[in-house]
Structure formats: structure tokens, C-alpha cells
Chains A and B, each alone.
Chain A
Amino acid sequence: MSGDRHKILEMLSEGKITADEAERLLDALDKDASLPEVSPAGGGGPSSGTVPKYLRVLIDDTKEPTKVNIRIPFQLLRAGIKLQSLLPAGARAHVNKALDEKGIGFDLNQLTAENVDEFIRAFSEMTVDIDADGGLTKVKVFCE
């Protein structure tokens, strides 16, 4: 564990910062650490070539009022793929058959970590921005 990370967790345990603040600081550290991995060789936009780490869902309803802030790591998806590879061949064939019966032409055997990385990379550009009820309800789904 790096010194900075340890210091943040210490500050959290001492109650100097809140869980939210600690999370933001840890995120900033993670982003710094992942900077060398990002190679903007094409010189494209800020997100070109980057692999998003989290799926974010933000809902802000001032009418109710309700606020929802969800952050799911894409790593969970990769872990799910690893778990899927543990399925016995018979079970996979059964799932494939059931999917086929529902009209979903999806082969679980084709699902690999590489495919998922490609899928996640494609998500980096995705943003869903809904502004309803004259700005009273806002929904935002994006990757970061």
C-alpha cells in the first residue's frame, strides 16, 4: 500500500475526513497511478484510448427530493467473466440453449476477458443525460 493511500485511510479512521472525501482522494490517487497506462498516441480527445474504471449513475430529483449516486467498478464485470469460466461445459451449454430459446443469440463460450475489455472501452464515450420536468429531474449515466 502506498504511503499516500495509507495516510488517507488513517485520516478516515481518525475522523478527520468523511468517507466521501476519502473516496475522492483515493480516486484521485488511482487516476494518477493509472496515467502512465494511458497512451494518447493518437492525440485524440481526453478519453480516447482510456479504459473507464467505473460506471456512474447520478439521479437528482428536486421534486421528491431524491438523490442517487451509484458507482460500480467495471472490474466487477471482469470478475464475473472469470467466474463464468468456472461454469462446467454442460451448464454453459444449458445457458446458451436457454438464451437461444429466448431469441438471444449469445454464446457464453465467446465471452473472454479480451472481449470484455473491448466492450468496456466502447463504453468510455457513453453518456446518458436526461433532463426532465423542466430541469427538476436529472439523470446522468456515464463512465469514468
Chain B
Amino acid sequence: MIPLWLAIEAGGQSRRRFRLRLPLPVIYLILLPFVLLLLPVMVVVCLLRGINPFRVIYAVFVLSGSLSGTHVEVRQANSSFLISIM
């Protein structure tokens, strides 16, 4: 399943905390025109290198889908960092 939410938190307890929750479908929609523009370039490069472009597209989809569930959280006395992909 492709990731739907990205949560990033950074900062310290005393300082201002940075919190960001991104609904990834919105980002996908924003990036879609760029992807469509770059797709022919990617296909040409793949064909020149002898790589099946459909397999590359599939691999990219699998890779992005596999990121779902990743959670990295580090908390120290004065600082903390969290990145979570759901």
C-alpha cells in the first residue's frame, strides 16, 4: 500500500517544536505533472541502457509502497526527531 501520511517532528522540549503532517496524496498530485514530464526522458534513458522501463516503474512503485510503516524516532533530553511514514 502506498504511503498516505508523512509525519515529521523535530525540536527540543524547551525550544519551539517543528511538526509537519503531510497528506501524501496531495504531494503525489503536485508531483504528477513533473513525473509525466520526466517519464519520456526516463524511458529513453532506460532503453539506451538496455533496461526495461516498465520494470523500473514497477520497482519504483514497489519501493515507495514498501516505505509505509517506517518509523524512526530519536529522543534525547534536549532534542528529539521523528519521521513516520504511514
In the complex, the answer to whether A54 meets B69 with C-beta atoms within 8 Å is: yes
- Taking a contact as CB atoms under 8 Å apart, the answer to whether A12 and B5 are in contact is yes
B residues 48-78 near A (Cβ < 8 Å) are: 49-52, 55-56, 58-59, 62-63, 65-77
Number of B residues near A (Cβ < 8 Å) is 32
Chain B contacts for A64, CB-based, 8 A: 76-77
Q: A138 to nearest B CB, angstroms?
A: 14
Choose, from A38-46, A72-80, A95-103, A128-136, the stretch at the interface: A72-80
Counted as pairs of residues, one from A and one from B, with CB atoms less than 8 Å apart, the total is: 92
Inter-chain contact B59/A86, CB cutoff 8 Å: yes
A79 to chain B, nearest CB (A): 4
Q: Are B86 and A68 in contact (CB under 8 A)?
A: no
**Residue A116 at the B interface, CB < 8 A?**
no
Whether A83 and B84, one on each chain, are in contact in the complex, defined by CB atoms closer than 8 angstroms, is no
CB-nearest residue of chain B relative to A30? B69
Per the bound structure, the CA–CA distance linking A37 and B86 in Å amounts to 22
Flag if A68 contacts B62 (CB, 8 Å): no
- Confirm or deny: B45 has a beta carbon within 8 angstroms of a beta carbon on chain A: no
The answer to whether A23 and B76 touch (CB under 8 A), given A70-B71, A76-B66, is: no
Tier of interface size on chain A:
20 to 34
For A54, the closest partner residue in chain B by CB is B69
The answer on a CB contact under 8 Å between B73 and A79 is no
The answer to whether B84 and A19 have CB atoms under 8 Å apart is yes
Please indicate the chain B residues that have their CB under 8 angstroms from the CB of A78 in the complex. Answer: 62, 66
In the complex, A19→B84 CA distance in Å?
Answer: 8
Which B residues contact A (CB, under 8 angstroms)?
4-5, 7, 9, 21, 23, 49-52, 55-56, 58-59, 62-63, 65-77, 82, 84, 86
In the A-B complex, the 3 residue pairs with the smallest Cβ-Cβ separation, listed nearest first, are A75-B66, A19-B7, A79-B66
Chain A residues with CB under 8 Å of chain B are 1, 9, 12-13, 19-20, 22-23, 26-27, 30, 53-54, 64-73, 75-76, 78-80, 82-83, 85-86, 88
